[in-house]
């Protein structure tokens, strides 16, 4: 083995040893967060796509979703959920060239004794999208994809906030 090959292997091995020593590990495939609750109630309507995705992720973490507030260790109350589409820029003819999409969720978490575990919190996600009059259907589909992407980001942010909570004893 020549010197260059040896140095390459030695450098790679030392980098791997250092990386494993720092405590780094990959996040699970579904972004698992260890939730401090055995059961939760979610204040979303049954038809809410955000509520459905959040339920699926919470169940994947081993937490039971219940409908009775007395049986829940934590209750996530949805205070508001809005989607907005605002004109960002116009072209020289005064037609829309870009939009800004907003997805806003305001919620709080309390336990079954009405003790607030997380004060009202607002998460605001924003994406910019260009607009082209000759491709209206494609741009509508792109807008739908961006909202679904924001919904997934929102679920992950909610899970991280829930994982950081300390239940009242």
> Tokens for 59?
């169940």
- Please, which pLDDT band fits residue 120 given cuts at 50, 70 and 90? very high
Q: Lowest-pLDDT range, 9-18, 24-33, 92-101?
A: 24-33
Residue 84 lies in a domain: yes
Residue 19 lies in a domain: no
pLDDT higher than threshold 80 for residue 21: no
Q: What is the structure's pLDDT at 32?
A: 56
- Percent of the chain exceeding pLDDT 70 equals 91
- Helical H segments across the chain, by residue range: 3-21, 49-60, 136-163
Distance CA 143, CA 147 (A): 6
> Tokens for 127?
């994406």
CATH at 64: 3.30.160.150
> Tokens for 66?
């219940």
pLDDT higher than threshold 70 for residue 62: yes
C-beta separation of 90 from 68 below 8 A: no
Q: Lowest-pLDDT range, 15-19, 135-139, 142-146?
A: 15-19
Give the residue among 84, 92, 158 at the shortest CA–CA distance from 128.
84
Residue with token string 């980001």: 153
DSSP β-bridge partners for residue 143? none
Domain count of the fold of the chain: 1
pLDDT higher than threshold 90 for residue 24: no
Residue 168 lies in a domain: no
pTM as predicted: 0.75
Residue 111 lies in a domain: yes
Q: List the domain range (segments joined by +) for residue 156.
A: 33-163
């Amino acid at each position: 083995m020549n010197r260059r090959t040896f140095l390459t292997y030695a450098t790679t091995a030392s980098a791997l040893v250092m990386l494993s020593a720092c405590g780094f590990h990959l996040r699970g495939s579904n972004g698992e967060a260890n939730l401090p609750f055995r059961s939760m109630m979610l204040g979303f309507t049954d038809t809410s796509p955000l509520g459905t995705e959040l339920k699926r992720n919470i169940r994947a973490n081993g937490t039971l979703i219940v409908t009775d507030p007395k049986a829940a260790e934590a209750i996530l109350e949805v205070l508001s959920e809005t989607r907005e589409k605002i004109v960002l820029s116009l072209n020289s003819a005064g037609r829309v060239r870009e939009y800004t999409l907003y997805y806003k969720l305001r919620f709080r978490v309390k336990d079954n004794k009405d003790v607030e575990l997380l004060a009202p919190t607002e998460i605001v996600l924003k994406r910019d999208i260009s607009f082209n009059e000759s491709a209206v259907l494609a741009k509508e589909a792109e807008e739908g994809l961006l909202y679904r992407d924001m919904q997934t980001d929102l679920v992950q942010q909610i899970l991280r906030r829930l994982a950081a909570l300390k239940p009242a004893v």
